[in-house]
A and B are shown apart, each in its own frame.
Chain A
Amino acid sequence: MSMSEVSQVVGRRKIVIDPVTRVEGHGKVTIRLNEAGEVEQARFHIVEFRGFERFIQGRMYWEVPVIVQRLCGICPVSHHLGAGKAIDMIAGVDKLTPTAEKMRRLMHYGQVLQSNALNFFHLASPDLLLGFEAPVPQRNIIGVIEAFPEVGKWAIFIRKFGQQVIAATGGRRIHPRLCVPGGVNQNLTIEHRDALRKDIDQITGWCSDALELYKSFVHSHQKLHETFASFPSSYMSIVGADGGMDLYDGNLRAIDAAGVPIFENVRPVEYADYLIEEVRSWSYMKFPHIRSLGRENGWYRVGPLAQLNCCSHISTPIAEAARQEFMIQGTGGLVHSTLAYHWARIICMIHCAEIIKELLFDNDLQGTDLQTVGVRRDRGVSIIEAPRGTLIHDYTVDADDQVTRANLIVSTTNNNEAMNRSVKQVAIEYLTGQEITEGLLNHIEVAIRAYDPCLSCATHALGDMPLIVTLEDAEGTVIATRVKQ
């Protein structure tokens, strides 16, 4: 059996599929039925360690931007920059030199570009271009390359370009090091600048081509696109001082489902006045929500869809035109479609490519004034928009410069409640009887992929399983379990 091994026990029906895979952290979905056999509740659990905050405690604060890269194999740069901004604050620096600020921005936009490209091309495009119902053996990026040969080229070369931006700014392709307290440790060499300039127009063009491809999917699947795993929600992201999209720096803005601001202009250091993190017994993940709205109503979504919904405009022309067309989907309001995460993700890719081009033609990147000093503080807080959404780093240090407290709210944690709701929507629509069908499993995966959750992504040893779906009756007795790699 190629994807899964199935065993069944009929009576109380039980389905078990044993996987062989290589990721330590795995996602677990539990669907609870009520006494009438209807879907009552769905939970997406992520088996995640909480220990990383303790892992940071005791470290010297200037080491943190390097250490936190260990948190995630996909987003080490986001954590590096998030921690870098927080330690600026500890170093008493509120404004970087133009060279330092722009070097960090270049790295960040390179990271978002390549990470979004991975999600869209590797995860989303097989579902969207080949169809949710396409046979699993074909529904992957190889199937996409066979059916759309150009798409494979875009995927690999956009990723590669993003990695080159990271290497050019961080000194190396992996484990890059750029941030130091109050600045950066290098500028952009002419050689790197010219190499990146050579490719950037092509990269922007491929991102735009990807957008056209995505829109062709939307036009042929209008209803599916609007309704799949979708619901109205609040959104949160940082925006720039003028309300426009800014993925690197800004203040928090949260809006309700109608687009009315819940809060605006919240500085990173004030985040805990507006957000509260709730712990629930059944999950290792925290459930952050907006204080003023309470636990039931205060949840929100982050990520590319939120970045588009929260901003008033995008500063770069191609992405702004794409944003305006995107927002029309919301018929005057916000766009709530969960699949629109992918659409928004591509618009962010275009914006990143445009920003990278602007920066590559900015001579400040060859400046030599790299670092600023200030009067040391005992706390540093930062917020950036990582590829999957709002990422908060918060550190307190003692008189010996050691971190005594760390609090990180990662994007996936911010989307925790929303992912549960999307899975529930899918379960209501696609669960028939008491069997976890391949179709149900596929659709649950499609919903989760829209958010592209970060699992226990800090470790990836061989020998565990990625997605387990369990169906329970009203008493909590397991009716069926299915595992898919």
Chain B
Amino acid sequence: MITPRILILGYGNPGRQDDGLGPAAAAEIEGLGWPNLTVYDNYQLNIEDAMDVATHDQVWFVDASKSGPSPYEVHELAPAERIGFTSHIVGPESILAIARQYFGRSPQAFLLAIRGYEFEFIEALTPAARSNLREAMAMLTARISIACESPVS
């Protein structure tokens, strides 16, 4: 019996107000200091993230949402590859698809979309987004805790 390895990928731009929700979430989760929990933050996803994704049992992609429900929503993700017109667009489904196709493994994955409201060049979350972050973190912490208590065989 092995404790599942969990990866949190929080992404977005902390210099653009609520776009920083993903990195802020990553920072909070990292602060827990739990074993078997790996936390990364970045401005955006990149194809090499598939290497990290493939070596974990459960992955949470955490991003800001401009139009979703408040305080947050969670979607389970399935691998799906798309192509954009610029390399500035890589979605979590694509990362999962690359992990599955190239590394032979696509773990259980979720998108946690935390609702944000303002995206100007200001380096701070809005109070409303911060409130959403608190609620999202309560949920995520509980979910991770449950996952950690459900060993993979």
Give chain A's interface residues, CB within 8 Å of chain B: 3, 21-25, 27, 49, 51-52, 54-55, 67, 70-74, 76, 115, 118-119, 121-123, 126, 136, 139-143, 145-146, 152-153, 155-156, 159-160, 163, 174, 444-445, 448-449, 452-455, 457-464, 466-467, 485
Count of chain A to chain B residue pairs whose CB atoms are closer than 8 Å in the complex: 167
Q: Are B120 and A140 in contact (CB under 8 A)?
A: no
User: What chain A residues lie within 8 Å of B71 (beta carbons)?
Assistant: none
Q: Is the CB of B12 within 8 A of A74?
A: no
Chain A residues lying within 8 Å of B113, measured Cβ to Cβ, are 462
Tell me whether B85 and A449 are in contact (CB under 8 A).
yes
> Are A453 and B82 in contact, with the CB atoms below 8 A?
no
Q: Which 3 A-B pairs have the closest CB atoms?
A: A70-B15, A73-B43, A463-B66
On chain A, the residues within 8 Å of B47 by CB distance are: 118, 121-122, 141, 155-156, 159
- Smallest beta-carbon distance B78→chain A, Å: 13
Tally of B interface residues using CB under 8 Å = 47
CB contact between A448 and one of B67, B86, B116 (< 8 Å): that residue? B86
Q: Which partner residue on chain B sits nearest A155 by CB separation?
A: B47
* Nearest-neighbor residue (CB-CB) of A119 within chain B: B87
Assess whether B11 is in contact with A142, with CB atoms less than 8 Å apart.
no
B83 close to A461 (CB less than 8 A)? no
Q: Report the minimal beta-carbon distance from B20 to chain A, rounded to whole angstroms.
A: 9
Cα–Cα distance between A259 and B27 once the two chains are bound (Å): 52
| Mask: chain B, 105-122; 1 = CB below 8 Å from A; 0 = not | 000000001001001111
A397 to chain B, nearest CB (A): 19
Q: How far is the CA of A73 from the CA of B97 in the complex (A)?
A: 21
B68 close to chain A: CB less than 8 A: yes
Residues of A within 8 A of B35 (CB): none
**Bound CA span A156–B88, Å:** 16
- Are B85 and A22 in contact (CB-based, < 8 A)? no
Given contacts A141-B83, A452-B87, A485-B82, 6 further A-B contacts (CB under 8 A): A24-B119, A118-B47, A160-B48, A464-B66, A466-B85, A467-B85
Partner of A452, one of B44, B67, B86, B120: B86
Residues of A within 8 A of B89 (CB): 21-23, 466
Residues B68 and A463 in contact, CB atoms below 8 Å apart: yes
Tell me the residues in window 14-35 of chain B with beta carbons closer than 8 Å to chain A beta carbons.
Answer: 14-16, 18-19
Which residues of B sit under 8 angstroms from A458, Cβ to Cβ?
A: 13, 15-16, 19, 121
A residues in contact with B86, CB < 8 Å: 27, 123, 448-449, 452-455, 466
B102 / chain A contacts, CB cutoff of 8 Å: 145, 152-153, 156
Binding site for A on B (CB under 8 A): 11-16, 18-19, 40-44, 46-48, 50-51, 63-68, 81-91, 94, 97-98, 101-102, 113, 116, 119-123
Contacts of B50 in A (CB 8 A): 156
What residues on B are CB-neighbors of A23 within 8 Å?
Answer: 88-89
Contact of A126 with B64 in the complex, beta carbons under 8 Å: no
B101 touches A460 (CB 8 A): no
Q: How distant is the Cα of A123 from the Cα of B82 in the complex, in angstroms?
A: 10
- Is B43 touching A76 in the complex (CB atoms < 8 A)? yes
Determine the distance from Cα of A145 to Cα of B48 in the docked complex, in whole angstroms: 14
A74-B87, A460-B13 given; A54·B48 CB < 8 A = no
**Judging by beta carbons under 8 Å apart, are A462 and B66 in contact?**
yes
Q: Which residue of chain A has the shortest Cβ distance to B89 in the bound complex?
A: A23
Q: How far is the CA of A27 from the CA of B44 in the complex (A)?
A: 18
Contact A73 B98 (CB under 8 A): no
Identify A146's interface contact among B11, B19, B66, B101, CB under 8 A: B101
Q: Given B16, B66, B87, which contacts A70 in the complex, CB threshold below 8 Å?
A: B16
A467 to B12: give the CA distance in the assembly, Å.
Answer: 20
Partner of A461, one of B43, B101, B119: B119
B41 contact set on A, CB distance < 8 A: 174
Q: Which residues of B contact A464 (CB under 8 A)?
A: 66
Nearest CB in chain A: distance from B96 CB, A: 10
Given contacts A22-B91, A54-B121, contact A142 B101 (CB under 8 A): yes
Q: List 15 A-B contacts (CB under 8 A).
A: A51-B120, A70-B13, A70-B16, A121-B47, A122-B83, A122-B90, A139-B83, A141-B98, A152-B102, A155-B47, A452-B86, A459-B12, A461-B12, A463-B65, A466-B86
Give Cα A55 to B17, complex, Å.
12
CA A55 to CA B13, docked complex, whole Å: 14
A55 and B85 within 8 A (CB): no
- Whether B43 pairs with A460 at a CB distance below 8 angstroms is yes
CB neighbours (8 Å) of A3 from chain B are 82
Question: CA–CA, A141 to B98, complex, Å?
Answer: 8
CB pair A461 B18 closer than 8 Å? yes
